Amino acid sequence: MKAKYRAKRISAGHYIYRGFEVVSVGYYHPEHCVCWEAIDSNGCGFAHGFSLAMTKRLIDEELDKED
């Protein structure tokens, strides 16, 4: 299945995806991975994931359930 939406890269670790700024918040040592967070227009954390793809999927799930 081909993705309907694409993340636009702003800079290293910063993307815009479906109106949300998705940023890399740093390395999480217990899980040995980088954490990502989606920030809404108010500056609040919206979705948190251990990969960019996971964070994008959480955004899609939340926005698509409103339809």
Q: What is the mean pLDDT of each run of 10 residues along the chain (67 residues)?
A: 83 94 92 93 91 94 80
pLDDT score, position 46: 86
**What is the pTM assigned to this prediction?**
0.84
CA dihedral 38, 44, 45, 46 (to 10 degrees): -70
pLDDT score, position 34: 92
Exposure string for 2-11, b = 16+ CB within 10 A, e = fewer: eeeeebeeee
Strand 33-39 to strand 8-11: parallel, antiparallel, or no bridges (unpaired)? unpaired
